[in-house]
Amino acid sequence: MLSYRHSFHAGNHADVLKHLVLTLILETLKQKEKGFFYLDTHSGVGRYSLSSAEAEKTGEYVEGIARLWDRCDLPEEVALYVQEIKKINRGKLRYYAGSPLLAVNQLRPQDRALLTELHPADYPLLRQEFAKIQNVTTKRENGFQQLKSALPPKEKRGLVLIDPPYELKEDYELVVKAIIEGYKRFATGIYAIWYPVVLRQHTKRIIRGLQETGIRKILQIELSVRPDSDQRGMTASGMIVINPPWQLEAQMKKVLPYLTSVLTPEKTGSWTVEWITPE
Ligand code: SAM
For ligand 1, the distance from its centroid to the CA atom of residue 169, given in whole angstroms, is: 14
243 marked among binding-site residues: no
Q: How confident is the model at residue 231 (pLDDT cuts 50, 70, 90)?
A: confident
Segment (H or E) for 61: none
3-state secondary structure of 230: coil
For residue 251, how far is its CA from the centre of ligand 1 (angstroms)?
27
**Is 271 part of any domain?**
yes
Helices (H), 46-187: 53-58, 66-69, 76-87, 99-104, 122-130, 146-149, 171-185
Segment 215-243 mean pLDDT: 94
| Mutation to probe ligand 1, out of 4, 19, 42, 159 (largest number of atoms < 8 A from CB) | 42
Ligand 1 atom 6: residue of nearest CA? 44
- Does the model's pTM come out above 0.95? yes
Q: Is 163 one of the catalytic residues?
A: yes
What residue's CA is closest to ligand 1, atom 13? 44
pLDDT value of residue 9: 95
Beta strands in the chain (DSSP E): 37-40, 47-49, 95-97, 112-116, 136-139, 158-162, 190-197, 218-224, 236-242, 270-277
Cβ contacts of residue 63 below 8 Å, gap of 6+?
A: 12, 13, 225, 263
Residue 1 lies in a domain: no
- The pLDDT of residue 272 is 98
- Residue 1: pLDDT band (50, 70, 90) is low
Instruction: Report yes or no on 19 lying in a domain.
Output: yes
What is the predicted pLDDT for the residue at 261? 97
Do 99 and 43 touch, CB atoms closer than 8 A? yes
When pLDDT is cut at 50, 70 and 90, the band that residue 2 belongs to is confident
ipTM above 0.95?
yes
Rg (CA), the chain: 17
Tell me the pLDDT tens digit for each residue of 45-78: 999 999 999 998 999 999 999 999 999 999 999 9
Our count of domains for the chain comes to: 1
Q: Is residue 196 part of a domain?
A: yes
229 annotated binding-site participant: no
| Range of the structural domain that residue 247 is part of | 6-277
**Which atom of ligand 1 has the smallest separation from the CA of 9?**
9
- Options 15, 111, 122, 163, the catalytic residue: 163
Q: Say how far apart CA 141 and CA 191 lie, in whole Å.
A: 19
Residue 50 forms part of a structural domain: yes
Does the annotation list 142 as a binding residue?
yes
Residue 70, Cα to own-chain centre: how many angstroms? 23
**Segment 121-131 mean pLDDT:** 97
Dist. CA 216 → ligand 1 center (Å): 27
99 is known to lie in a ligand binding site = yes
Whether residue 37 contacts residue 157, with contact meaning beta carbons closer than 8 Å, is answered with yes
The CATH number assigned to the domain holding 167 equals 3.40.50.150
